Amino acid sequence: MWFKLSDAEQSLVQHHLRSAIADQGPDPKAITLADRLTSDAKPETEDAQAYRDAADDPFGEVNVDEDAPVTVSASGGAWVLAWVYVSDADAGIEEDEEGEDD
C-alpha cells in the first residue's frame, strides 16, 4: 500500500508515534516507523513534474498520478511511481461462473 502524506500529516504521525513511545515505553516497531518517516522523506525536486509528464503514457499503457513520487537518480534521470494496467487474461486469471475473479 502506498499513499502520500503532506508535510503536516507526516509531522502529526511522527508526533503521535513519539508521544506513544514516551508514554508507553520503547516499542521497537514504533521507533523504526518514526525513524523511517524522518529518514525516507525527501523534498520534491523542481524537475519532478517534468519527470512525471515524461513517464505518463498518452495511450494508457502507463498512468502516472499528478502527485506521484519522483526519486532522482545519481546517474541521471529519475524513477517515477506509475500504474500499469494488467488484464485478467494477461495475468492468467480466469473469471468464475458468476463473472467475478477468484
- Residue-wise pLDDT for 25-63, tens only, equals 877 887 787 777 776 666 778 999 999 999 988 787 889
Domain extent at residue 11: 1-41
Mean pLDDT of the chain: 82
Going by the DSSP 8-state scheme, the letter that residue 77 receives in this structure is S
22 and 10 together in one domain = yes
DSSP-assigned letters across all residues of 85-100? ---HHHHTPPB-TTS-
Residue given cell 498512468 in the structure block: 63
What pTM did the predictor assign? 0.57
**Domain count within the chain:** 2
Shared domain for 9 and 28, answered yes or no, is: yes
